[in-house]
Structure 1
Amino acid sequence: MRASLAVLAAATLTATALGAKASDLPAPAENEGETERPWVLQITPYVWGTGLSGDVSPFRRGPTIGIKKSFSDVIEDLDFAGFVNVWGRYERFVFSADMLYVSTTDSKVVHGTIPRPPLSVRLDASIDTRQFTSTLQAGYRVIETPDFTFDVLGGVRFWHISNDVDLDVEVAGQKRRISYGEDFGWVDPVIGARAFLRMTEKLSLQAQADVGGFGGGSNSTWSVLATANYTMTDHLSVSAGYKYLDINYKDDGHVFDTTMSGPVIGLTYRF
């Protein structure tokens, strides 16, 4: 039972931690002079090196498990991960789209013996987890100066998580495979703000925060992200910072009540 719970916890962790909400990664701020342009569009592939702590239950009839994992623990089970943020502005109207897809596999092999009658037992468990999360927000730039901007935002965040379990059981040389799959998802309304401060011609600071859920999807969720941004060319910038995300989702036997935090690194191309 202990090994089975470990498999369940590791798979759920890896799926959700690498992104699990994943609120927007703010892209580096617009170059000096671009505030005078009627429109700006920029795309930012990014990485979030997050750990995870909290309580999870990815299966409706499964146990709720307390977990605490570092980013290095999570990355061991990763098959594929993709993260991208799109940020746009037309005059004072702003738009943000953040998308992530994560696929993980966690496998464990357990050997044992049943004492009465004495039988050898082998359990090979594998859990494949896939997660898609998309955050769409729109808003308005309420403050705009050459060195400081402030935007207010509102929108929705979509979640979809699927889990497939394969158990290969061998007892006294007799083999049997058991498979089970389950998926769930929800939508959270979110409201937030984004601020930018220019320090020098090439260096800037940026912060974004949001709060949501309100019982419409999750019970509650909030996040804060701060980055330092460096402009390398007119079209290319890099960002580095830290992100903190808290979410409390409990519905129909599924539980995801966790805190995620870790460094972020992004590379922005500006059109």
Structure 2
Amino acid sequence: MHLSAPFTIEVVLNRFVPALAIALAPWCALPAHAAEPLSTETAGDPALETPGLIRNADGALQITPYLWAAELHGRISPFRRGPTIGVDKSFSKVFDDLRLGGFIDVWGRSGRYVLSADLAYVDTREIRGSGPLPGIGPVPPGTKLEGQVDSKLFMATLLGGYRVVDTPELTLDALAGMRIWHVSNKLKVSALGRSRSYRESFGWAEPVIGARVFTNVTDKLSVQGLASIGGFGAGSRFAWSAQATLNYAFSDHLSVSAGYKVLDVDYDRNGHVYDTQLRGPVLGLTYRF
């Protein structure tokens, strides 16, 4: 069975791009976090304690499931022997093909030391049909061709750091660590009761450094900013990210965060290309222990 290159490329891109667009949420140092514990210098002073925030001088732990409504722009080559093609995907197109997705961030602090683990998993599937086709060799006229692309992406960002500024008005954390990527793709094309499949996967690990700043605005509201750079040729050529969120604390243990995030990455190695920018609003729900 002969497959035309344009059909194969279209099926691959419309399947693989949504997987990365949703799951690359992690691709940044950290997702949206809610309100942080008070400074260790002021947690014991009732006059400076802020209602709705954890008052723990020694440490804290918080878990944040989150969403990132990202659109994707750039160029990719999901298969080593495939061409590199420009992509331009809105979030609605990305969401249509989602089968399963999960995104969670864990943030911990002990004194001035901080630790973060950000995990993301996305499984998407797209089925496309083409035809009726003209007669080509043994393929009779009117034949319909169906293509299915399954894509899975796993990403983990592990960061440790130190709180270099710790005051009642402002905290600033310096961060460093590693981000790990793994992408798996399967293309299946069927026609005339026969099918052909092709699988391929690739991945990389890269160093990341960054900073996180947090400040209280009112008793319930706070603002947080995140920025990071990474890659440096030891994975991707270069990657950078920036994020800002506004956080609202419902209680000592529950907060919601909303903001905007941008992730830019340039990976080109061993025939695989992922040179893109993802950007869009983020929404997170944080539970603090």
TM-score computed with the length of structure 1 as normaliser: 0.95
Q: 2:272 aligns with which of 227, 244, 254?
A: 254
- 1:250–1:257 CA contact under 8 A, matched in 2: yes
State the 1:75 CA deviation: 0.3
User: Structure 1 residue 110 and structure 2 residue 130: aligned?
Assistant: yes
User: Structure 1 residue 244 and structure 2 residue 262: aligned?
Assistant: yes
Q: Distance in 2 between matches of 1:132 and 1:89?
A: 25
State the 1:30 CA deviation: 1.4
User: Structure 1 residue 125 and structure 2 residue 147: aligned?
Assistant: yes
Give identity over the alignment, percent: 47
Q: Distance in 2 between matches of 1:70 and 1:242?
A: 15
User: Structure 1 residue 267 and structure 2 residue 285: aligned?
Assistant: yes
Match of 2:157 in 1: 135
Superposition map of 1:62-141 within 5 A: 62-115=82-135, 119-141=141-163
User: Structure 1 residue 41 and structure 2 residue 47: aligned?
Assistant: no
Aligned partner of residue 73 in structure 1, secondary structure: helix
User: Structure 1 residue 159 and structure 2 residue 184: aligned?
Assistant: no
Match of 2:205 in 1: 187
Distance 1:232 1:176, change over 3 A: same
Aligned partner of residue 214 in structure 1, secondary structure: coil
**Structure 2 gap segments, 5+ residues each:** 44-53
- Give the counterpart letter for 1:121 in structure 2: T
Deviations 1:207-243 (A, max 9, x none): 0010000000011101001000000000000000000
Match of 2:33 in 1: 27
State the 1:114 CA deviation: 2.3
Superposition map of 1:165-204 within 5 A: 165-170=187-192, 175-204=193-222
State the 1:206 CA deviation: 0.1
Normalized per residue, which structure has more strand?
1
- 1:35–1:146 CA contact under 8 A, matched in 2: no
Q: Distance in 2 between matches of 1:115 and 1:269?
A: 60
Deviations 1:114-160 (A, max 9, x none): 25776222110000000000000000000001121000000000000
State the 1:19 CA deviation: 2.2
Aligned partner of residue 33 in structure 2, secondary structure: coil
- Give the counterpart letter for 2:179 in structure 1: R
Q: Distance in 2 between matches of 1:57 and 1:167?
A: 19
Q: Distance in 1 between matches of 2:106 and 2:142?
A: 55
TM-score computed with the length of structure 2 as normaliser: 0.89
Match of 1:9 in 2: 13
State the 1:28 CA deviation: 1.2
- 1:26–1:207 CA contact under 8 A, matched in 2: no
